[in-house]
Structure 1
Amino acid sequence: MSIRPGPRNRITDVAGILVGNAEDCRIRTGTTVIYPVVRCAAAADIRGGGPGTLNIHALDPTSLSNEVDAIVLSGGSMYGHDAAGAVVAALGARGRGISFGGAVVPVVPGAILFDLANGGDKAWGEIPPYAALGRAALASVGEEFALGNAGAGYGARAGALKGGLGSASCVTPDGLTIGALVAVNSFGSVVMPGTNRFWAGPWEMEAEFGDLGPPPPGWQGEAEMPLPPGSALNPMANTTLAVVAVDAALSKAEAQRLAIMAQDGLARAIRPIHTPFDGDSIFVLATGKVPLTGPAMLARLGHLAADTLARAVARGVYEAESLGDRPGWREAFGR
């Protein structure tokens, strides 16, 4: 038996992880909530030069908090952090979080991406939509969720193509499950220059993003950095956000090492990546079902997480539909 995708090929194949999306089509934006049914260990790794994160220091291995209640990814740039605040309020009202005497404080890290220049109506005045989107996304959490133009990926762009929300999973012969979710809003390209082939193609499973195979005969890699065309070149208007979940029992330090290794999945699927213009951020959730047997198992999990995240990136763009001035992959390549 070989490694295979889980039954949903989504991060929710990791038992106890739920996902909810909410979108505003008029504004061209959205929010995604990743919700562990039971509070679990978490960590983060930030590689992009322009991040927009919230409560990241709570995930540091030296900090007091050991578990989180949810992770919130949102469009809207800094306005999008309202979504996480709304999720905190909703979870606190349920009594979910750390108890301090008579108070309950949920631990909800988050990150935002820039989708303010995609042509949607951003004239919201003093009432941005993101608190409402955060509540709606939390209310919709479940094992099934949409990809492409959904949640935090609704208004996203990936180089010259429409970006989107992607997810993938893998199950090992000995029963480990690894899942990834990503909102692809990258400065770099997810396809090889001059082709419709995804950089993540070598890691594809079961024709999950087109089964295109290797590059066309005679294709040679570009020595120069593959930049989007001038009309798509908008520095400081990017960021790819991801969450990796595993069913292993990890400390926060071990989860952070997993996040560091998982970053290689973005490098396999997007070129260039971790630029000064991106805020690339990866979170890890570890549900604790399977004991960690040692550093070799952690290294294996990190390797699988990177592969799974690369697949999720390609799926997010493959499933996305055209929006504004960004064609979807299918429209761009006539598929």
Structure 2
Amino acid sequence: MNIRPGPRNRITDVDGILVGNAEDHRVRTGVTVIYPEARCPAAAEVRGGAPGTLNVQALDPASLGNAVDAVVLSGGSMYGLDAAGGVVAALGARGRGIAFGGAVVPVVPGAILFDLMNGGDKAWGEAPPYRALGRAALEAVGADFALGNAGAGLGARSGALKGGLGSASSVTADGLQVGAIVAVNSFGSAVMPGTHHFWAGPLELEAEFGGLGPPPADWRGAPEMPTPPGFALNPMANTTIAVVAVNAALDRGELQRLAIMAGDGLARAIRPIHTPFDGDSVFALATGRVPLTNPAMLARLGHLAADTLARAVARGVYHAAGLGDRPGWDEWRGRR
């Protein structure tokens, strides 16, 4: 199977998907909006032990409907749920959503990560910044967007390193497009202990996160699970949240299976993963531009989505600059 990154190596290589970021550097937080140009079906898979999500149950195949107008990834823990409200208000004003007589109701699920202890100014009183950040991120949507300390990844951490916003894409010779975007704020590490190699190294395409590949031949692993700095004081301050998208036409059950398979990409890129301290959540979107011809094609899409998400995780950490007490990967590598 001939796989290559799309021209941007971002989720926006899936036709019909746009992304916008907004940040507040004083607060050290941000919001990312994933915006399908046409309403499209969605699913979600939540595996972490401490999730923070919005409208996920509405995406269950047993629920009435699952088409969405946007997906919001936000910092801010519970405060960050306000970001989706800003997006809903802006989309409703545009007439985007489900029409009920004279009313329009946008459907906007989302997920949040914990970035409240990264040194930013969180003294916002009764006026958290997230509703405004959600609107700003929606206004910024386009095909090109920044990685690393951008959007929901601005205040993120990943183990002992700075986390960030990552994205990647996979395009096949027969026209399939698969993309992923992820805000990496993990308890576990994206880097193999005792090395500067990424767990996702064997999946790397075209030196997209340093070209280091697998670990040295004499690497034997770590004897025990490493814990990030400050863990004893702040054991619940994590969560990796992601969206994958494909250009295939999937029904609700097929899309749920895609989300389940895509979630394994986090396990290929972060260890440990799905801990009691993380709220790992993955959304899946299908733009419906290529017909699904057989069940094997769904399995292929799920496999591609998992690998693409794993690469996106590594890219998020690779592109992140140091902030507060967490060095960026490049800075940290230079110290070793």
Structures share a fold, TM > 0.5? yes
Please say if residues 159 and 232 of structure 1, whose CA atoms lie closer than 8 Å, have aligned partners that are also in contact.
Answer: no
Please say if residues 60 and 66 of structure 2, whose CA atoms lie closer than 8 Å, have aligned partners that are also in contact.
Answer: no
- Read off the aligned partner of 1:115 and give its amino acid letter: D
- Read off the aligned partner of 2:133 and give its amino acid letter: L
Please say if residues 204 and 213 of structure 2, whose CA atoms lie closer than 8 Å, have aligned partners that are also in contact.
Answer: no
Please say if residues 266 and 306 of structure 1, whose CA atoms lie closer than 8 Å, have aligned partners that are also in contact.
Answer: yes
Cα drift, residue 299 of structure 1: 0.6
Query: What SS class does the counterpart of residue 283 from structure 2 fall into?
Result: strand
CA distance in 2, matches of 1:55, 1:204: 33
Please say if residues 43 and 66 of structure 2, whose CA atoms lie closer than 8 Å, have aligned partners that are also in contact.
Answer: no
CA distance in 1, matches of 2:226, 2:5: 30
CA distance in 2, matches of 1:147, 1:94: 28
Counterpart in 1 of 2:236?
236
Q: 1:233 to 1:189 in 2, by over 3 A?
A: farther
Q: Which is further off, 128-137 or 210-219?
A: 210-219
Query: What SS class does the counterpart of residue 67 from structure 2 fall into?
Result: coil
- Read off the aligned partner of 1:270 and give its amino acid letter: I
CA distance in 2, matches of 1:303, 1:177: 13
- Read off the aligned partner of 1:327 and give its amino acid letter: P
- Read off the aligned partner of 1:105 and give its amino acid letter: V
CA RMSD of aligned residues (A): 1.2
- Read off the aligned partner of 1:158 and give its amino acid letter: S
Matches within 5 A, 1:33-72: 33-72=33-72
Q: 1:228 to 1:66 in 2, by over 3 A?
A: closer
Show structure 2 runs of 5+ residues with no match. Answer: none
CA distance in 2, matches of 1:294, 1:41: 19
TM-score with structure 2 setting the length: 0.98
Please say if residues 49 and 279 of structure 1, whose CA atoms lie closer than 8 Å, have aligned partners that are also in contact.
Answer: yes
Counterpart in 1 of 2:83?
83
Query: What SS class does the counterpart of residue 253 from structure 2 fall into?
Result: helix
- Read off the aligned partner of 1:114 and give its amino acid letter: F
Q: Which is further off, 45-54 or 209-218?
A: 209-218
Is 2:44 the counterpart of 1:25?
no
CA distance in 2, matches of 1:295, 1:270: 29
CA distance in 1, matches of 2:95, 2:4: 38
Counterpart in 2 of 1:287?
287
CA distance in 2, matches of 1:213, 1:103: 53
Cα drift, residue 89 of structure 1: 0.5
Cα drift, residue 233 of structure 1: 6.8
Is 2:318 the counterpart of 1:308?
no
- Read off the aligned partner of 2:68 and give its amino acid letter: V
Query: What SS class does the counterpart of residue 72 from structure 2 fall into?
Result: strand
Matches within 5 A, 1:1-335: 2-229=2-229, 234-334=234-334
Cα drift, residue 227 of structure 1: 2.7
Q: 1:231 to 1:274 in 2, by over 3 A?
A: closer
Cα drift, residue 222 of structure 1: 2.3
Q: Which is further off, 57-66 or 270-279?
A: 57-66
Cα drift, residue 228 of structure 1: 2.4
- Read off the aligned partner of 1:241 and give its amino acid letter: I
Please say if residues 40 and 67 of structure 1, whose CA atoms lie closer than 8 Å, have aligned partners that are also in contact.
Answer: yes
Cα drift, residue 230 of structure 1: 5.0
Query: What SS class does the counterpart of residue 43 from structure 1 fall into?
Result: strand
- Read off the aligned partner of 2:160 and give its amino acid letter: A
Please say if residues 242 and 282 of structure 2, whose CA atoms lie closer than 8 Å, have aligned partners that are also in contact.
Answer: yes
CA distance in 1, matches of 2:194, 2:268: 18
Query: What SS class does the counterpart of residue 301 from structure 1 fall into?
Result: helix
Query: What SS class does the counterpart of residue 306 from structure 2 fall into?
Result: helix
Deviations 1:218-244 (A, max 9, x none): 111224323324568731100000000
Q: 1:230 to 1:125 in 2, by over 3 A?
A: closer
Q: Which is further off, 14-23 or 60-69?
A: 60-69
State the percentage of identical aligned residues.
Answer: 81
Query: What SS class does the counterpart of residue 120 from structure 1 fall into?
Result: coil
CA distance in 2, matches of 1:236, 1:230: 11
- Read off the aligned partner of 2:87 and give its amino acid letter: V
CA distance in 1, matches of 2:249, 2:277: 34
Please say if residues 148 and 166 of structure 1, whose CA atoms lie closer than 8 Å, have aligned partners that are also in contact.
Answer: yes
Q: Which is further off, 247-256 or 147-156?
A: 247-256
Cα drift, residue 15 of structure 1: 0.4
Cα drift, residue 38 of structure 1: 0.3
- Read off the aligned partner of 1:202 and give its amino acid letter: P
Q: 1:168 to 1:233 in 2, by over 3 A?
A: farther
Cα drift, residue 102 of structure 1: 1.3
